């Protein structure tokens, strides 16, 4: 893989939602010092990279995805020197740190947007997408209007408080002056400003960025070609100045994102059913009643073929926008899920708390624009003390699940069969066997429609391992084309039975075989 940072080959990521991770100043909200305090825990878990959701200054109408100042840490989390220390402390432990970059929009309170609202033209007038008349909607996006002296409607990306930055339009309509070419002066000025943001944090010690809504910057780009060109420009800038910087995209189309220069792309809960068919569909494959693995197989094989040798596909346990993995899976099912997640190719991502089976907190009032997502953003459950050890404050900013006295890190650390210790063991195995790591080869061995066993092979030039998964609550049997000889190096419970080419997998179980 060209210009592929070496550390990505065995990176296992841990996603941290900073306001919900660990509160050290007793205000009910997590902070950067709280992350620093838990770096040793992240090491013990077996993760050597972290992704921190937006921690920049913000009014928090959308949990920090509405940025007020790209170059300033939100005071509730600490200050820039705290982030510098976090980078340093993480690096001392061999942990790389990605920040969440939101290049597509800002808060309406951002100084750039306030300047762009002025009726007198200035250098920020076209930093955002403004039509010439308040009665005209910008094509391809929603808009806000009637909030400034300036005549025109401003495009927004998601919430009304998130005006879209101007990176131009694909095939701009000459009859609509606001539709600029991506290479016009104003869109290029936006690019330059975002490169300065990247440089600011990379110079401080950041190791790269997860990029929010990466495929949506150039508008009306239906085939993705202009966004690919845009990211190739960013990639060239990074390669020249920060060759070890990693970019991972929220795009969900690896054939486009990796072509644009991203090292990795997530499989997501929107777009093709590929990812959702595993854990979060009406009948997911990873359930005791079983689903259809061929949905995942076909789409993933396509992505794998397109990205092989060029970049990685990331399969996360979840994230801040999805239901918690434990919402519809019990502990036995979660152990099988994590065996899959931590033995697949690509870089694995563990969403904080999924490693102990934190449940989705039901029926919460929306907090910071979370709405139905709020239940997956509840505080980390560290122990059975007040507020699960997350905070000494009488009331965390989001309620915890009421089971925190039972489901917490401290309880599971001492139980060798706990979900936490299974995850730790799987991460250790992944680290010990290069054939299980991110860039090693992958092949479906048995993944048939309407059959509830999954077998796949991970291998490199010197090592071959097979992974056997049966999510069903009953034994599952399949026949392979080859006789397997080897040793079972991991199992979630009762080991598989091998009779020449016939494999019998116990109910709700997973095993790993190292070939002799």
Residue 153 included in any domain: yes
461 within a domain of the structure (yes/no): yes
Domain boundary among 128, 143, 164: 164
Task: State which of 164, 185, 210 marks the end of a domain.
Answer: 164
Whole-angstrom distance, CA of residue 190 vs CA of residue 103: 9
Distance of CA 174 to the CA centre of its chain: 38
The rounded distance, in Å, linking the Cα atoms of 112 and 78 is: 24
Residue 311 and residue 265 in contact, taking contact as beta carbons nearer than 8 Å? yes
Tell me whether residue 156 is in a domain.
Answer: yes
Contact between 46 and 84 under an 8 Å Cβ cutoff? The reply is no
155 inside domain: yes
Q: Would you say residue 360 lies in a domain?
A: no
- pLDDT digits (tens), the chain, 516 positions: 447 899 999 999 999 999 999 999 999 999 999 999 999 999 999 999 999 999 999 999 999 999 999 999 999 999 999 999 999 999 999 999 999 999 999 999 999 999 999 999 999 999 999 999 999 999 999 999 999 999 999 999 999 999 999 999 999 999 999 999 999 999 999 999 999 999 999 999 999 999 999 999 999 999 999 999 999 999 999 999 999 999 999 999 999 999 999 999 999 988 888 999 999 999 999 999 989 999 999 999 999 999 999 999 999 999 999 999 999 999 999 999 999 999 999 999 999 999 999 999 999 999 999 999 999 999 999 999 999 999 999 899 999 999 999 999 999 999 999 999 999 999 999 999 999 999 999 999 999 998 889 999 999 999 999 999 999 999 999 999 999 999 999 999 889 999 988 999 999 999 999 998
143 is in which domain, residue-wise?
Answer: 105-164
Calpha distance 324→398 (Å, rounded)? 15
What is the rounded CA–CA span in Å between residue 242 and residue 279? 37
Q: What does DSSP assign to residue 141?
A: S
Q: What is the CATH number of the domain that holds 463?
A: 2.60.40.1180
- What is the Cα–Cα distance from 428 to 423, expressed in whole angstroms? 9
- Distance, CA of 480 to CA of 500 (rounded, Å): 9
Residue 429 domain-assigned (yes or no): no
Percent helix / strand / coil, the chain, rounded to 5: 30, 20, 50
Please write the tens of the pLDDT for every residue from 398-427.
999 999 999 999 999 999 999 999 999 999
CATH of residue 134's domain is 3.90.400.10
Last residue of a domain, one of 120, 140, 164: 164
Closest CA to 304 of 214, 179, 439: 439
Is pTM beyond 0.95? Reply is: yes
Is residue 355 situated within a structural domain?
A: no
Asked if residue 142 belongs to a domain, the reply is: yes
Distance CA 76, CA 27 (A): 9
Number of domains in the chain: 2
């Amino acid at each position: 893989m060209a210009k592929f940072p070496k550390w990505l080959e065995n990176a296992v990521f841990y996603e941290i939602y900073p306001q919900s991770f660990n509160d050290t100043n007793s205000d009910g909200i997590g902070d950067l010092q709280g992350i620093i305090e838990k770096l040793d825990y992240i090491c013990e878990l077996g993760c050597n990279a972290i992704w921190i959701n937006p921690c920049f200054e913000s009014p928090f109408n959308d949990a920090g995805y509405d940025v007020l100042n790209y170059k300033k840490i939100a005071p509730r989390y600490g200050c820039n020197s705290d982030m510098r220390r976090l980078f340093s402390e993480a690096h001392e432990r061999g942990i790389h740190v990605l920040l969440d970059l939101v290049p597509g929009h800002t808060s309406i309170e951002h100084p750039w947007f306030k300047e762009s609202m002025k009726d007198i033209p200035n250098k920020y007038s076209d930093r955002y997408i403004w039509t010439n008349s308040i009665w005209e909607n910008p094509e391809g996006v929603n808009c806000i209007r009637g909030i400034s002296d300036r005549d025109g409607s401003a495009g927004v990306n998601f919430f009304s408080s998130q005006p879209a930055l101007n990176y131009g339009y694909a095939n701009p309509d000459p009859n609509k002056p606001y539709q600029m070419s991506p290479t016009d002066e104003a869109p290029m000025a936006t690019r330059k400003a975002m490169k300065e943001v990247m440089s600011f944090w990379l110079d401080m010690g950041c190791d790269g960025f997860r990029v929010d809504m990466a495929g949506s910057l150039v508008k009306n780009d239906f085939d993705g070609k202009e966004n690919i060109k845009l990211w190739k420009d960013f990639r060239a800038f990074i390669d020249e100045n920060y060759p070890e910087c990693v970019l991972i995209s929220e795009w969900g189309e690896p054939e486009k994102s990796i072509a644009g220069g991203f090292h990795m792309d997530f499989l997501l809960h929107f777009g093709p059913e590929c990812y959702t068919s595993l854990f979060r569909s009406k009948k997911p494959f990873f359930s005791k009643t079983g689903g259809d693995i061929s949905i995942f197989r076909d789409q993933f094989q396509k992505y794998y073929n397109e990205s092989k040798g060029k970049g990685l596909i990331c399969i996360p346990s979840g994230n801040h926008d999805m239901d918690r993995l434990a919402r519809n899976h019990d502990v036995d099912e979660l152990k099988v899920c994590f065996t899959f997640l931590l033995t697949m190719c690509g870089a694995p991502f563990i969403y904080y708390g999924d490693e102990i089976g934190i449940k989705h907190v039901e029926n919460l009032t929306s907090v910071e624009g979370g709405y139905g997502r709020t239940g997956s953003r509840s505080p980390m459950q560290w122990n059975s003390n007040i507020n699960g050890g997350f905070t000494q404050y009488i009331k965390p900013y989001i309620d915890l699940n009421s089971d925190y006295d039972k489901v917490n890190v401290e309880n599971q650390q001492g139980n060798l069969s706990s979900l936490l210790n299974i995850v730790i063991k799987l991460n250790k195995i992944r680290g010990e066997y290069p054939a299980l790591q991110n860039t090693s080869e992958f092949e479906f061995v048995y993944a048939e429609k309407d059959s509830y066993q999954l077998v796949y092979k991970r291998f490199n030039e010197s090592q071959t391992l097979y992974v056997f998964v049966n999510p069903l609550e009953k034994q599952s049997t399949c026949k392979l084309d080859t006789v397997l000889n080897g040793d079972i190096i991991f199992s979630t419970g009762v080991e598989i039975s091998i009779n020449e080419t016939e494999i019998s997998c116990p109910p709700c179980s997973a095993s790993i075989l190292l070939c002799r």
